[in-house]
Amino acid sequence: GDDRIVDVCRYFGALMTAAIRGESKEALLSHRFYDDHRDWFDWKDIHPSIRSVVLGSYKQRFDPRNGVRPTNDIIETLETVLWTFWTDCNSFQKGLLDSISLNPNKKNIAAIYGQLAGAYYGYNRIPTQWIQQMYAQKLIINTAEWLYFLSERTTFGLGKPNEIQKTVISPSRWQSSNLVEVVTQKHIHPKMIIDKVE
């Protein structure tokens, strides 16, 4: 397999975790992000092309005034997403619209930006009219609550699920139950993800 793909996923997962934990945008986009979180990467080095992104390659390479457009390359996609997040003027709406305008035929840029920016800005910073038109809105909100609940009870991918998690996250239970009902059956009340992010 391509080591770059694995390391892009490791890096982006770490960014998402740090965003949900409330780290500043400056910390997320810092050239020290990887060094400051090496334990999250199991102390393993990352691919040199990903290291270049962490060090800020996207701050020089992607400028729409120069007519730069992303290609299908995973590194350029990551750089485009981070450039958009870096230049979004702290506005989820502006960033998402900018990510679409960078390449109208590639909605994956907008989808990936939306993940990171949504984790960073939180639910309340997404335009209300967009939320009202969102498909499967309740399922997405319930899933977000559940992911937050799980994140409070395990380490960054290194811990094993406890007995409650094993019972509640069983695929057979998911097929027949709403996520919130499953949590309520165990008398567990997960916090809203928006409370954590705000």
pLDDT tens-digit readout, 46-72: 999 999 999 999 998 666 556 555 566
Rounded to a whole number of angstroms, the CA Rg of the chain reads 18
pTM for this model (two decimals): 0.72
* Closest among 26, 25, 36 to 119, alpha carbons compared: 25
* CATH code for residues 3-129: 1.10.4080.10
User: Residues 76-126: pLDDT tens digits?
Assistant: 889 989 999 999 999 999 999 998 887 766 788 899 999 999 999 998 899
Tokens describing residue 136:
């499967």
Residues of the chain with CATH 1.10.4080.10: 3-129
**Beta carbons of 125 and 92 less than 8 angstroms apart:** yes
Residue 43 CB burial class (10 angstroms; 0-12, 13-18, ≥19): exposed
**Beta carbons of 62 and 79 less than 8 angstroms apart:** yes
